[in-house]
Amino acid sequence: SLDAIDLQDRCELSNRTGMDSETLKRAFLNNLFYVQGKFPALATTNDYYMALAYTVRDRLLQRWINTAATYTELGSRTVAYFSAEFLMGPHLGNNLINLGIYDQVEQGMAELGLSLDELQEEEEEPGLGNGGLGRLAACYLDSLATLDIPSLGYGIRYEFGIFDQDIRDGWQVERTDKWLSAGNPWEIARPEWSVEIKLGGHTEHYTDDHGNYRSRWVPDQVVKGIPYDTPILGYQTNTANTLRLWTAEAPESFDFRSFNSGDYLGAVYEKMISENISKVLYPNDDSSQGKQLRLTQQFFFVSCSLQDMIRILHGQNLPLENFHKKFAVQLNDTHPAISVVELMRLLIDHHQMDWEQAWTITHQTFAYTNHTLLPEALERWPIELFGSLLPRHLELIYEINQRFLDEVRIKFPDDEERMIRMSLIDESGERYVRMAHLACVGSHAINGVAALHTELLQKDVLRDFYEMYPHKFTNKTNGVTPRRFMVLSNSQLSKLITSKIGDSWIKNLKELQQLEQFVDDAGFQVEWRRIKQHSKTELATYIQNNNNITVDPDSLFDIQAKRFHEYKRQHLSLLHIVTLYNRIKANPDIEITPRTFIFGGKAAPGYFMAKLIIKLINSVGNVVNRDPDVRGRLKVVFLKDYNVKLAQRIYPAADLSEQISTAGKEASGTGNMKFALNGALTIGTLDGANVEIREEVGEENFFLFGLTTEEVYHKRAHGYRSRDYYHTNAELKLAIDRIASGFFSQGDAELFRPLVDDLLNQDQYFLFADYASYIACQDQVAAVYKDQTKWTRMSILNAARMGKFSSDRSIEDYCRDIWKVEPVNVELRQC
């Protein structure tokens, strides 16, 4: 019988766990044959990639199954990270690093005549996120596993992730991201754990057998959620946690109903509507679109996940009353905030719990992370739309609100204005449900993502909630994983560091500080510079191949890579470029530090101004890159389709990191951390985590410019007039006039008018107010760059002092202060 086979034998027989180069090679060829059904003469690069991916997956599975068994046996307290986005990036390289077999596999592949780089290039990255928020979730999963914290990531398995970006005639063009078309070797479907989700319809009220007044939801649509699991292995540990993403399907029973009545097309239509739910990621970053499908997506994954957690709880013979003891749920912004109501509904309507107990469990379960201060990103749903999709939830929200406002009334008597401001329902015009208020009321902890951001939440956006529940608020400064963003993406620098201080910095980033002892070591400086130069040369080759632009690896690589948004001010950097260009035109022999300006990032498809800024970058590039007067001293490059893969090429090659958002607008930023960790110097405002980065690296190693948040508030309150700056700063005027005149648009003075007019008349992001300070700071950057010894010194100190910004530190903070969860050691026992 199966039981008779010794478990250890099963592993060894299968050849699926060995980590030495020979075994890996044999397993790889085995998978090529038995999984891909190919022999080398017919195999495509994709076949090789798949064979390698399955080889790696086998090694993950052993750890994954052990982890699940351990957690089940121990009934471990578990973190559930709820996020509408997980921007994972390619899995292959990261898993090789975390398994500790990167070098063996690279060598093994080379012996077979294959390049591991090329195989990694073959992977379609899962782009199930827009930018910072989704990438943060991915870094957190890596740290949770690395720190041996039992955890699950819950989200949506979008069939189409963030669109692929093309550039045509300088404009962004979107293409569908078909990331699943070649198959996904990293996931396993678990149809046996499917759940049903209700939508629409109405509610009914009745008295149960015990004489209790009860409600039930009679939906008019039911969809099925199917979980797909991806193992998330930690670095140098046996812990492999799970990312569980839900796909929507029509339940068979519904098809049959229409089918039996002869309505075949109706049945197919039903199926199509259901499957729309997980079809596509909404491509907006830092803004919210009040679309019904979006709310449906949010409710869909939240309800699937909560039902799944109740199944897990029951599977471990734990009572429902222990839900909050078993699980700590983190809400990644308000996208999953409907959880608060859905858990109440499941407890009360499905499990007959009374209100008080259900509420205790609910608010002890959830914690809420806010990721933005932008008013346009705060989610609110029109009552009509909300009630038609989730009628029972609307009733429950009214009840939660009534009880909440009673509390407010007691704490702040006779303050009607405050009640109106704090209500879960916005009644100032058309009525809305305010999701951030729901998240605050339904959670026991609320956090911002950088010190300044948390302070501004408390002072401004969530001030009333801070006054009501000061104990709920904490700061949790973001972090990034050094595994992907150093060890994997900058292997040369990582190896240099390890040769000096050993490799424990990879799990304990604070140890980078030991690099300070080498800061004046000439040999170390030379190595440090050589590696940066190497990365720049590789990026230069990429630019040559993709943009057909020749750039000089000796020039200063000045990079801004992030989503396009007016508050991030890519166009402020453009004003600098045009200013330098104007200086050259006025005096072609001017002494100037050669620079390559590199931009990357996507604009939301409906965000006209962001798309116009992309067009302007390309237009300026077309003129500057070709003008003989420039003599190659300035180059402007727009790298299309910025994604995790490309980011990993970019960070190691940067000299200067542009973090130039208007103070008070960027919640944290995380690209700022990845650049600095890779030895780039930052030019930045006192915004988001820049403030803390500067504190850590020292003000003498950071290029600071611009207004502070208070100064911005003050100017806004006292009638900011950008035009005054235009009239009093000759270089600014000339830069704007050049753009406005059609100089960069073949004489077309209309093309960039919306941008120019906005800056002259509104400029809500204070570009003109910050222009002079930015230019002066950039002149200083150029001067320091000429002194390569000084620059290298600053670069080393930046990397050495980035320890705080490991996502391991962030996760430890969450574990200690919010989740109250401890590590669980996983031992390898069986296959």
Residues that bind ligand KOT (CB under 6 A): 131-133, 136, 285-286, 288, 333, 371-372, 377, 449, 478, 666-670, 688
| 160 vs 805, beta carbon nearer ligand KOT | 805
Phi, psi angle pair for 87, to nearest 5°: -95, 80
Question: Smallest distance, Å, CB 503 to ligand KOT?
Answer: 28
Pairwise CA distance, residues 405 & 395, whole Å = 15
From the list 562, 602, 635, 801, the catalytic residue is 562
| 454 vs 795, beta carbon nearer ligand KOT | 454
From the list 507, 602, 674, 738, the catalytic residue is 674
| 28 vs 368, beta carbon nearer ligand KOT | 368
Q: List Cβ neighbours of 486 (8 Å cut-off, separation of 6 or more).
A: 493, 494, 506, 677, 678
Pairwise CA distance, residues 627 & 57, whole Å = 52
Give the angle 573-558-760 at the CA atoms, nearest 5°.
Answer: 0
CA 385 to chain centre: 28
Question: Smallest distance, Å, CB 455 to ligand KOT?
Answer: 15
| 490 vs 661, beta carbon nearer ligand KOT | 661
Pairwise CA distance, residues 183 & 124, whole Å = 9
| 94 vs 670, beta carbon nearer ligand KOT | 670
Question: Smallest distance, Å, CB 124 to ligand KOT?
Answer: 23
Pairwise CA distance, residues 689 & 477, whole Å = 7
| 78 vs 670, beta carbon nearer ligand KOT | 670
Q: Which pair of tokens denotes residue 778?
A: 């950039």
DSSP letters spanning 674-695: HHHHTT-EEEE-S-TTHHHHHH
| 84 vs 114, beta carbon nearer ligand KOT | 84
Q: Tell me if residue 670 is catalytic.
A: yes
From the list 16, 371, 434, 665, the catalytic residue is 371
| 377 vs 487, beta carbon nearer ligand KOT | 377
Question: Smallest distance, Å, CB 600 to ligand KOT?
Answer: 16
Q: Tell me if residue 271 is catalytic.
A: no
| 108 vs 132, beta carbon nearer ligand KOT | 132
From the list 91, 326, 563, 569, the catalytic residue is 563
Question: Smallest distance, Å, CB 651 to ligand KOT?
Answer: 15
Q: Which pair of tokens denotes residue 63?
A: 């750890």
From the list 670, 682, 709, 792, the catalytic residue is 670
DSSP letters spanning 342-380: HHHHIIIIIT---HHHHHHHHHHHEEEE-----GGGS-E
Pairwise CA distance, residues 450 & 455, whole Å = 9
CA 420 to chain centre: 34
- The answer to whether the CB of 756 falls within 8 A of the CB of 768 is no
- The answer to whether the CB of 73 falls within 8 A of the CB of 123 is no
Beta bridge partners of 652: none
Locate all alpha helices (DSSP H) within 484-558, ordered by sequence. 491-501, 522-547
Euclidean distance between the first and the last CA atom of the chain, given in angstroms as a whole number:
17
Q: Decide the pairing of beta strands 473-475 and 213-218.
A: unpaired
Q: Which pair of tokens denotes residue 820?
A: 């109250």
Question: Smallest distance, Å, CB 765 to ligand KOT?
Answer: 14
Q: List Cβ neighbours of 720 (8 Å cut-off, separation of 6 or more).
A: 763, 766, 769
Question: Smallest distance, Å, CB 269 to ligand KOT?
Answer: 31
DSSP letters spanning 661-676: PPTTT-S--SHHHHHH
Question: Smallest distance, Å, CB 657 to ligand KOT?
Answer: 14
Residue 549, class by beta-carbon neighbours within 10 Å (0-12 exposed, 13-18 middle, 19+ buried)? middle
| 170 vs 336, beta carbon nearer ligand KOT | 336
Q: Tell me if residue 568 is catalytic.
A: yes
Pairwise CA distance, residues 807 & 689, whole Å = 13
Pairwise CA distance, residues 763 & 715, whole Å = 12
| 443 vs 745, beta carbon nearer ligand KOT | 443
Pairwise CA distance, residues 304 & 223, whole Å = 10
Q: Tell me if residue 371 is catalytic.
A: yes
Position with the least CB separation from ligand KOT: 132
Amino acid identity, position 690: N
Cα–Cα nearest to 661, from 547, 764, 787 = 764
The CA distances from residue 700 to 663, 686, 798, in Å, are: 20, 15, 11
Q: Which pair of tokens denotes residue 707?
A: 């207004």
| 131 vs 161, beta carbon nearer ligand KOT | 131
Q: Decide the pairing of beta strands 432-434 and 425-426.
A: antiparallel
Q: Tell me if residue 786 is catalytic.
A: no
Pairwise CA distance, residues 475 & 725, whole Å = 36
Question: Smallest distance, Å, CB 565 to ligand KOT?
Answer: 8
Question: Smallest distance, Å, CB 709 to ligand KOT?
Answer: 14
From the list 568, 602, 633, 809, the catalytic residue is 568
DSSP letters spanning 776-818: HHHHHHHHHHHSHHHHHHHHHHHHHT-GGGBHHHHHHHHIIII
| 226 vs 367, beta carbon nearer ligand KOT | 367
Phi, psi angle pair for 189, to nearest 5°: -75, 145
Name the CA dihedral angle for 231, 232, 236, 237, rounded to a multiple of 10 degrees: -70
Question: Smallest distance, Å, CB 689 to ligand KOT?
Answer: 7
Q: Tell me if residue 789 is catalytic.
A: no
Question: Smallest distance, Å, CB 474 to ligand KOT?
Answer: 15
Question: Smallest distance, Å, CB 660 to ligand KOT?
Answer: 13
Task: Tell me the catalytic residues.
Answer: 371, 562-563, 568, 670, 674
